[in-house]
């Protein structure tokens, strides 16, 4: 394990833990207004995607694709947004966000200014789908899910 002192993703999970594998973990982000917001956090401290070996990049992105596919099946979003930014926390993590036409920012990115308030009933509907999604996510990585927060 490569760890960096003072890095919040080395010193903490980064959110509510959904599952952990030897290479990465999946956490649920607590961003207000986006209940379908997960992050794949690489366990080792690497800054850039291209810092990973080819094998690790393949494992990382096949996991991102599998998580995205499960989000599509369970959350029925209009679009999934993927991003690895890391300007604030340069420890590789992929944002996976289920987006809806009714959400507070659509079609703008979640980092832009909000253009409306998301309806409470729609948010609650997505929220209600998370347990089944997370069960499916843990089933994608059998025998590896050490953590279930």
Token pair 């966000």: residue: 97
**Is there a contact between 77 and 71 (Cβ–Cβ < 8 Å)?**
yes
* Count of residues near a copy of itself by CB under 8 A: 36
55 binds a copy of itself (CB under 8 A): no
**Is there a contact between 145 and 25 (Cβ–Cβ < 8 Å)?**
no
The binder of a copy of itself chosen from 1, 5, 55, 113 (CB under 8 A): 113
74 binds a copy of itself (CB under 8 A): no
Give, in order, the Cα–Cα distances in Å from 115 to each of 9, 40, 54, 97.
31, 27, 40, 17
Token pair 């009933």: residue: 121
Closest contact distance (angstroms) between CB of 133 and a copy of itself is 14
Which of the ranges 57-65, 119-127, 128-136, 139-147 carries the binding residues for a copy of itself, by CB under 8 A?
57-65
**Is there a contact between 94 and 82 (Cβ–Cβ < 8 Å)?**
yes
Question: x/- string (CB under 8 A) for a copy of itself, residues 81-100?
Answer: xxxxxxxx-x--------x-
Q: What is the DSSP string of 90-129?
A: -S-EEEEEEE-TTSSSTTS-TTS---SPPPHHHHHHHHHH
The binder of a copy of itself chosen from 32, 58, 117, 146 (CB under 8 A): 58
Which of the ranges 13-21, 23-31, 56-64, 119-127 carries the binding residues for a copy of itself, by CB under 8 A?
56-64
CB neighbourhood size of 47 (10 A): 12
Secondary structure (3-state) at 23: coil
50 binds a copy of itself (CB under 8 A): yes
Q: Which residues bind a copy of itself (CB under 8 A)?
A: 47-50, 52, 54, 57-58, 61-62, 64-66, 68-69, 72, 78-88, 90, 99, 106-109, 111-113
């Amino acid at each position: 394990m490569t760890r960096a002192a003072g890095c919040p993703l080395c010193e903490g999970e980064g959110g509510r833990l959904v599952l952990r594998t030897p290479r990465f973990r999946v956490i649920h982000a607590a961003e207000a207004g986006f209940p379908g917001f997960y992050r794949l956090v690489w366990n080792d401290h690497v800054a850039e995607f291209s810092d990973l070996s080819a094998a690790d990049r393949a494992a990382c992105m096949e996991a991102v694709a599998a998580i995205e596919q499960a989000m599509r099946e369970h959350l029925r979003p209009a679009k999934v947004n993927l991003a690895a930014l890391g300007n604030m926390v340069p420890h590789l993590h992929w944002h996976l966000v289920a987006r809806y036409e009714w959400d507070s920012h659509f079609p703008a990115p979640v980092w832009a200014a909000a253009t409306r308030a998301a309806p409470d009933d729609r948010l609650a509907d997505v929220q209600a789908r998370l347990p089944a999604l997370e069960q499916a996510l843990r089933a994608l990585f059998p025998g590896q899910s050490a953590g279930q927060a």
